[in-house]
């Protein structure tokens, strides 16, 4: 199999770590994000195997830019979506909520749909995306973030079912990390069970290679989310987070 992947959201955090692992493993990569400079640093690792594009997923032409990047790469077998924003917003600042929706809901849908249609026309492909354990329950400190993460997981599940019903050879991997020590968690809150991005990236690459359907990272968060799901709403809404 040709190892050709596109990573959107490769400039920092988990996306950048995954890009480095795939480059080291000999993949040809198309990498994209809003900031070009960090992408060029990744390209320097293997200039002949890395294509770069500046893409903002909230822009209406982001899908066209993605397809242009795929064309320059010479094809795509894996689409990895690592783009996303999130912030605690207890005061419900409207700008924060709407930006989160635009990136994590509208931008996510725009890019995932483009990859799905590409793979449907190609006859095969693999979509992997970072959602979050935050989509398990509605989190009061981050309403838009938890809501969009729930949307992402449900959307991926729906596409997986559709692909199966249509007889399409499209595999989908929903990656749900817990708290990861990246710029996404840049506020003053002290997050528990914080994970290192390089360790999370290694788990993601293994999960992609094994074609997992859903991967909660790591075992502590698998236990946590298991019990979260069991909690009735009357208990959940009284919990202090």
Q: How far is CA 185 from CA 61, 63, 178, in A?
A: 29, 28, 11
Q: Which residues pair with 172 in a beta bridge?
A: 127
Is 145 noted as a catalytic residue in this protein? yes
Read off φ and ψ for residue 158, nearest 5 degrees.
-65, -40
Q: Which residues pair with 230 in a beta bridge?
A: none
Q: Which of 116, 118, 145, 155 is catalytic?
A: 145
Read off φ and ψ for residue 95, nearest 5 degrees.
-60, -40
Q: How far is CA 48 from CA 18, 122, 213, in A?
A: 18, 24, 32
Pairing of strands 78-81, 50-54: unpaired
Residue 179, C-beta contacts closer than 8 angstroms, at least 6 positions apart: 185, 191, 192, 193, 194, 195
In this structure, the chain runs to a length of 241
Active-site residues: which are they?
145
């Amino acid at each position: 199999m040709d190892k050709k992947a596109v990573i959107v959201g490769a400039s920092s955090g988990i996306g950048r770590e995954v890009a480095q692992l795939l480059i080291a493993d000999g993949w040809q990569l198309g990498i994209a994000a809003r900031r070009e400079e960090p992408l060029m640093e990744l390209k320097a690792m293997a200039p002949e195997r890395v294509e770069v594009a500046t893409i903002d997923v909230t822009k209406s032409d982001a899908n066209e830019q993605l397809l242009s990047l795929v064309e320059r790469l010479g094809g795509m077998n894996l689409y990895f979506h690592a783009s996303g924003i999130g912030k605690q917003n207890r005061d419900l600042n409207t700008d924060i909520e709407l930006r989160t929706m635009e990136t994590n809901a509208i931008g996510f849908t725009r890019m995932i749909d483009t990859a799905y249609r590409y793979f449907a026309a190609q006859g095969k492909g693999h979509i992997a995306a970072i959602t979050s354990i935050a989509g398990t329950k509605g989190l009061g400190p981050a309403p838009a973030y938890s809501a969009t993460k729930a949307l992402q997981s449900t959307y991926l599940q729906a596409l997986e079912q559709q692909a199966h019903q249509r007889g399409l050879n499209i595999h989908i991997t929903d990656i749900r990390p817990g708290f990861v020590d990246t710029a996404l968690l840049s506020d003053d809150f002290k997050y528990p069970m914080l994970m290192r991005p390089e360790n999370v990236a290694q788990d993601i690459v293994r999960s992609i290679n094994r074609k997992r359907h859903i991967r909660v990272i790591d075992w502590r968060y698998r236990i946590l989310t298991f019990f979260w799901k069991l909690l009735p709403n009357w208990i959940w809404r009284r919990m202090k987070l």
